[in-house]
Amino acid sequence: MPAQYAFGFDVSRYQENVQWDRVKAAGMEFVIVQVSQYNWVDKLFLRHWANAKGVLPRGPYHFYRQITDPQKQVDVFLKALGDDPGELPPVLDIEDTSSNGKADYIKGARFWLEQVEKKLNRKPIIYTAAWYWANPQFMTPPSWASDYPLWVASYPFSQGAPTRTQVANYPDKPPKERCPIMPSSWKKWTLWQYAEHGVVDGNFRSTGSLADTDFDAFNGPLEDLLKMATGATTPLPEPPKNPPPTTQVMLNQNVINAFHWAFQADWEKKMKEAGLSLTTMVNNRNAPYTGKPVKDMSLAEADKTVLQGKWDTILAKQ
């Protein structure tokens, strides 16, 4: 019989426009969000964390780097979370290919795991991959690693993503075909990142088209994943009363696309007529548009009508 899994995805600053109700409706059951890396906070963490609250169970992760003091990496992670640690266990991403001191890297990673567990009273998960974990160039696997649950990155398809039925049937295949490919320290996996080029409705590029998405499976039902953090299945927290907007986000790149679509060869001329700086918008293409609405632009009424139509079409795809 196929295994029973819960399915979710993970996001970071590279997922710029996530519509949370839509990804939930598309079948996502949980999300893991990058909080920090080195000693800085991911630029989209606060947006993702707030918007997903009350929609999907959330887990936080930190990308560990050797070149930054371990205590600073603990501090930046915990400070960013504040009094909202999410509903799932914390995760430490161990795959720093720039590490040049394996012993120090392992020591620092263990320090992070122990300190975060002590502070949050939740046992962290280790994220890594077989190509990294037992590669002498990067890592000498520590004996204590198997004390922590594993989130393994292993992609059976180089492009696209296997279906959920295919993922659920992998354990029934002969061992030589079994996925995921396991790092040497573990006999079983807790989470499996099984695709990095999946597509799900609700995760958009700045252009309005669907973006690539990391897909994840939990080795069991969702209730068991929730219990890993707190020991009990608890209801999702209520969404914030005034969450950041999750729909109808027009980015600068979307505006450029709308002008090009509406006016073809004259699009740059029309942007100038409208009082918009193309250079400024290109340099900040992934930022939300904060200029005048179409109705207030310095354009002929006929041009406004055409532009508004393209504008609305782009928004409707979100």
pLDDT tens, residue by residue, 53-65: 999 999 999 999 9
pLDDT tens, residue by residue, 188-203: 999 999 999 999 999 9
Q: Do 216 and 257 lie in a common domain? A: no
* Domains identified in the chain, total number: 2
Residues in the chain, total: 318
Domain of 42 in residue numbering reads as 6-230
Beta bridge partners of 191: 151, 218
What sign for the dihedral angle of Cα 9, 15, 18, 20? positive
pLDDT tens, residue by residue, 114-123: 999 999 999 9
Could you give the CA distance from residue 282 to residue 148 in angstroms, rounded to a whole number?
44
pTM of the model: 0.74
Residue 147's CATH number:
3.20.20.80
Q: Do 50 and 109 lie in a common domain? A: yes
Q: Which amino acid is at 20?
A: W
